[in-house]
Chains A and B, each alone.
Chain A
Amino acid sequence: MEKSKYPLYFSFPAIIVFLVFFITPTVIGFYYSFTDWNINASSIKFNGLDNYKELFNEPRLKQAFTNTLIFAAAVTVLQNVAGLGLALILNEKLKLRNLLRMIFFMPYVIAPLVIGYIFRAIYHPEHGIVNKFFDTIGLDFMMQDWLNDPKFALFTIIITDIWRVAGFSMVVYLAGLQFIPKDLIESASIDGAHYWTRFKHVVFPLLAPAFTVNILLAMIGSMKVFEIVMVLTEGGPGYTTEVFYTYIRNTFSSGEMGYATAINMLLFALVTLVGVPVLMAMKKREVEM
């Protein structure tokens, strides 16, 4: 049967929207990153690589870079571990399965800003329920100033974000699990394979497309983290939880537009450099399956 073909011009509206709202601002931004654009100046001049030279000498950016990578690595791994775990549990025949699926997915629907405000109250050193809980069960040595102590602040933000996004990974893994033919799992069971063996040799390989989507989205999303950090700590105390976007935001608001755009370009390059190889490797794994 011959496949139906559609005329090329059907794609023109989408291409135009993409060009106008995505490609053009990116190209313009790329140009501005090589200028001295500053709200205190009346004109904009091309200044070559000056912005890039300056940003590589900026200690705050190094800290933001390190924090972003730690955040991205931790969230990507733990979000997927939590999401996969939840998906495997909620793929079983449980009485409250649908309700539980909804409960675990719900945090993803709530705006990160709202979650930030809620968790600020939860982590409050004196009145927050986390410390109250530890106090009640007699583990008062566990009571900490979760958001204001530099030892814990980044870790606390990571945990909060994992709670927020694990439900999304769960949904993608659940969708992947639905596509695994039941007869393959049943055959493995008849052959005597127990749960772990079935997971390792049947389920895990066939979930490859879900892993690709989840890992890539988690990685890109977490490298662009902003709202949750902004609400919980504003990058503080000091600069201990500063990430790329909180640094960019501060630079933009101080009026150094060209310099801030250069940092944005650096983040764009970083996401591309990390994202493309990961995508290729994951896709290759899918093909090899």
Chain B
Amino acid sequence: MRNMKAVYLMMVLVLAALTLAACGGNNGNNNNQAAATDAPKNTAAAEPTKEPVKDPVTLTFLIPNTDDVTPYTQIFKDFEAKTGNKVEVQALPGGDYDNMLKTRFSTGDFPDVFLMQPGTKQYVKLRADETLYEWSGEAGVWDNVIESITEFQKDANGKAFGVPFGKTGMMGVFYNKDVFASAGVEPPTNYANLIEIAKKLKDAGVTPFYEGVKDGWPTQVFYLTGWVSQVDQEVGDEGVQQLNVNGLKLSEIAALKDLFVKSKEVKDLGLFQKNTLSGTFDELQNELGEGKVAMAFMLDGILPQLEKKFGNDFVKEKIGFFPFPSTTDTGTAMITPPNQLMVPSKAKNLEAAKELVKFMISSESVNSFYKMHPGIPIFKGATSELYPSQITVQEYIDAGKSKVNVQNRLTASFLDLGKILQTFHISGDVDAAIKEMDTNYVKDGKSKLLEGFE
């Protein structure tokens, strides 16, 4: 017992000593503060208070590998030079990007910033209210974004969880001008004319169309770009709204069925390359660039890829574009709103991530982006040199003959469309393909707990 008493006594003494030491330390600080306060003002001016040096951080930036990373890399270099913060780019497989992102979210493995497809449907997909930083009221973000894009970015409650970045994109038919000239053909005036042109090209010994069935996603372009020229004419905006609340079935749309029939016809006529099942996006670029293939239903992501492989002059002079033609005319240009930058609210370096986003949409960064990735700008005052293929789309937009991709207008997705189309390519069963597309669409709406899908 006597020993324990001694221990307690020692503990009390030590604690008391520490308390006293703390008081003494505090006194010292106070003295210093007093000294600082008493110091003449000119001394303070001569030795300005230095800002606390922040520890540089490394931010993670996720991007699908179908996007060109080069312009982002340049912006991140400038960001590092300005702030000291580094940005590590992680390019995930384009086909699995959404799934991989959602998996990372559900396991709490948040990136700091990530590039996402356009539209408010992404908010539902990522449960934005709980997981994403909201930008609606953020100063210095919206001033330079053109109004229509700002509006597109907001959900029904006026909230924006993403910052638009990039350019207005497009999908349609990219063609090799030299190949067309050699075969003596011109861009089509309607769909029947397109098939005639394809037959002529085949007779001239060129593969008319390339289909990247192995990669899955390229096959979707035919249907999505065909939608604005054909299906929208049948269902209109009202029909799309009906689809949004599960009030209309995909299998009830005759024009959609017609698109599947048309795709089958192209295959049956032998207008695709031989090995469609092993067709890839990469090979598509090579074949189109080398003039072995005349056309491809594709998105504008192909332009920077072609530029990398065949040079800027090639893309400017040799690559043309036309929309999916309708039965009666040259069709409607399918446009896509820009991608968006998103920041998880639980990002490890939230403040630095916000700083990065603001840096990315600054005039310097935006112009640097457009310099390397020319496109129709969405920022006021931004300048961009357009490829001739983009000028074609701009002309359609100006003429009022453009429409936003249906996938961006719907909240539920055409789930696994790439796989469904691979199966369709093998079996050729139109009804089975549409039935599966319909089932998966409803399944996705149900999984996202959307109104009308319960």
A residues adjacent to B (C-beta < 8 A): 38-42, 125-126, 145, 147-150, 235-240, 250, 252-257
Q: With a CB–CB cut-off of 8 A, which chain A residues contact B420?
A: 238
Q: With a CB–CB cut-off of 8 A, which chain A residues contact B278?
A: 125, 145, 147-148
> Roughly how many angstroms separate A145 CA and B425 CA in the complex, as a whole number?
15
> Roughly how many angstroms separate A68 CA and B449 CA in the complex, as a whole number?
31
A238 engages B423 (CB within 8 Å): yes
> Roughly how many angstroms separate A41 CA and B425 CA in the complex, as a whole number?
35
Write the nearest CB–CB distance from B410 to chain A, whole angstroms. 16
Known A-B contacts A40-B449, A256-B447; A238 and B99 likewise in contact (beta carbons under 8 Å): no
B447 engages A254 (CB within 8 Å): yes
A40 engages B127 (CB within 8 Å): yes
- B285 at interface, CB cutoff 8 A: no
Q: Which of B112-165 contact A (CB under 8 A)?
A: 124-125, 127, 130
> Roughly how many angstroms separate A108 CA and B298 CA in the complex, as a whole number?
41
Q: With a CB–CB cut-off of 8 A, which chain A residues contact B444?
A: 254
- B319 at interface, CB cutoff 8 A: no
Q: With a CB–CB cut-off of 8 A, which chain B residues contact A240?
A: 423, 426
Residue in B99, B103, B277, B415 whose Cβ sees the most chain A Cβ within 10 Å: B277
Q: With a CB–CB cut-off of 8 A, which chain B residues contact A254?
A: 99, 102, 415, 444, 447
- B354 at interface, CB cutoff 8 A: no
Write the nearest CB–CB distance from B424 to chain A, whole angstroms. 8
CB within 8 A of B102: which of A39, A145, A237, A238?
Answer: A39
> Roughly how many angstroms separate A287 CA and B216 CA in the complex, as a whole number?
53
Write the nearest CB–CB distance from B152 to chain A, whole angstroms. 22
B277 engages A237 (CB within 8 Å): yes
> Roughly how many angstroms separate A150 CA and B338 CA in the complex, as a whole number?
37
Map CB proximity to A onto B14-32 as digits: 1 under 8 Å, 0 otherwise: 0000000000000000000
Q: Jot down 13 A-B pairs with beta carbons below 8 A, ordered by A.
A: A39-B127, A40-B449, A42-B130, A148-B277, A237-B277, A238-B422, A250-B416, A254-B99, A254-B415, A254-B447, A255-B102, A255-B447, A256-B447
Write the nearest CB–CB distance from A151 to chain B, whole angstroms. 10
Give B421's nearest chain A residue, CB to CB: A238
- State the main secondary structure of chain A at its contact with B: loop
Q: With a CB–CB cut-off of 8 A, which chain B residues contact A145?
A: 275, 277-278
Write the nearest CB–CB distance from A209 to chain B, whole angstroms. 41
CB within 8 A of A237: which of B96, B105, B130, B422?
Answer: B422
A125 engages B106 (CB within 8 Å): no
Q: With a CB–CB cut-off of 8 A, which chain B residues contact A237?
A: 213-214, 277, 422-423, 425-426
> Roughly how many angstroms separate A238 CA and B423 CA in the complex, as a whole number?
4
B449 engages A252 (CB within 8 Å): no
Residue in B106, B278, B422 whose Cβ sees the most chain A Cβ within 10 Å: B278
- B100 at interface, CB cutoff 8 A: yes
> Roughly how many angstroms separate A38 CA and B100 CA in the complex, as a whole number?
16
- B448 at interface, CB cutoff 8 A: yes
Write the nearest CB–CB distance from A157 to chain B, whole angstroms. 15
> Roughly how many angstroms separate A40 CA and B451 CA in the complex, as a whole number?
13
Known A-B contacts A145-B278, A239-B419, A239-B423; A250 and B99 likewise in contact (beta carbons under 8 Å): yes
Known A-B contacts A150-B426, A237-B422, A253-B103; A38 and B449 likewise in contact (beta carbons under 8 Å): yes
Residue in A235, A237, A238, A253 whose Cβ sees the most chain B Cβ within 10 Å: A238
Q: A145-B277, A237-B422, A252-B103 are in contact. List 18 more A-B contacts (CB 8 A).
A: A39-B102, A40-B125, A126-B275, A145-B278, A148-B278, A149-B277, A235-B419, A237-B277, A237-B425, A238-B426, A239-B423, A240-B423, A240-B426, A250-B416, A253-B102, A254-B99, A254-B444, A255-B106
Q: With a CB–CB cut-off of 8 A, which chain A residues contact B124?
A: 40
Q: With a CB–CB cut-off of 8 A, which chain A residues contact B416?
A: 250
CB within 8 A of B275: which of A125, A253, A255?
Answer: A125
> Roughly how many angstroms separate A40 CA and B449 CA in the complex, as a whole number?
7
> Roughly how many angstroms separate A243 CA and B216 CA in the complex, as a whole number?
18
Q: With a CB–CB cut-off of 8 A, which chain B residues contact A40?
A: 124-125, 127, 447-449
Give A257's nearest chain B residue, CB to CB: B106
A253 engages B99 (CB within 8 Å): yes
Q: With a CB–CB cut-off of 8 A, which chain A residues contact B422?
A: 236-238
> Roughly how many angstroms separate A236 CA and B130 CA in the complex, as a whole number?
35
> Roughly how many angstroms separate A126 CA and B214 CA in the complex, as a whole number?
14
> Roughly how many angstroms separate A236 CA and B277 CA in the complex, as a whole number?
10
Q: With a CB–CB cut-off of 8 A, which chain B residues contact A253?
A: 96, 99-100, 102-103
